[in-house]
A and B are shown apart, each in its own frame.
Chain A
Amino acid sequence: GQQVMQIPQYQHVQEGEDFTTYCNSSTTLSNIQWYKQRPGGHPVFLIQLVKSGEVKKQKRLTFQFGEAKKNSSLHITATQTTDVGTYFCAGVWVGSARQLTFGSGTQLTVLP
């Protein structure tokens, strides 16, 4: 079945280093959303990307949607300990009646 593949599964960085997580789909996505889940918490919506090649920024976070709308990335510049958590992408396929499909997430650990 259709899946959204997300890599890496785990990432450990030193505070101040950059971090990137990637999502890939074999078929074209209608849109993609990103969520953050803090340890012991629930997912919180970060952003939605809809247009081909779209780039959005939220302070140190940069979100990109590929030109073919089959991949997306989240980049965090100069990580802080408050960035700790699991980052999920969630996509909807073009022409699909399905709801959001979540990737497996990237668990980020920031070492002080």
Chain B
Amino acid sequence: DGGITQSPKYLFRKEGQNVTLSCEQNLNHDAMYWYRQDPGQGLRLIYYSQIVNDFQKGDIAEGYSVSREKKESFPLTVTSAQKNPTAFYLCASSFVSGNHQPQHFGDGTRLSIL
């Protein structure tokens, strides 16, 4: 079955530690996205990539980094510079077209601070 796989489902970060969230898709989508979701809020865009080896900052990129070395993979690193990392992180992917194609989401990773 085609889909998006995020891992791990739960992640705990110590102070001063970088952690990396995995996102893999086998939908042959060109574009991939990372969102952060806090309780009672909508999804806020962290980073997105429309093609391999290229990515763009979203609305809340500070304290995060990404890479896009393969079409199928778009890992997100939450660095120690992100002072409030506790949130639900969602990865999504879509085809690229002029009309903003529907996004398909993974099951998410819940990140907490120890």
A contacts, CB < 8 Å to B = 4, 6, 9, 30-31, 33, 41-45, 48, 50, 88, 90, 92, 99-105
Contacts and interface: CB of A to CB of B under 8 A. Distances in A.
Given A102-B43, A103-B42, A41 B107 contact: yes
A104 B42 contact: yes
Contacts of B100: 30-31, 33, 48, 92, 99-100
B42 A88 contact: yes
Interface string B43-66: 111001000000000100000000
Most buried by A among B41, B44, B102, B106: B102
B102 A45 contact: yes
A84 B112 CA distance: 26
Size category, B interface = 20 to 34
Nearest to B33: A99
B58 A99 contact: yes
Given A43-B43, A48-B100, 19 more contacts: A6-B42, A42-B105, A42-B106, A42-B107, A43-B90, A43-B92, A88-B42, A88-B43, A90-B43, A92-B100, A99-B33, A100-B100, A101-B45, A102-B42, A102-B43, A104-B40, A104-B41, A105-B41, A105-B42
Contacts of B45: 99-101
A48 B45 CA distance: 19
Q: Top 10 closest A-B pairs, CB basis?
A: A102-B42, A45-B102, A42-B105, A102-B43, A104-B42, A43-B105, A92-B100, A103-B42, A105-B42, A42-B107
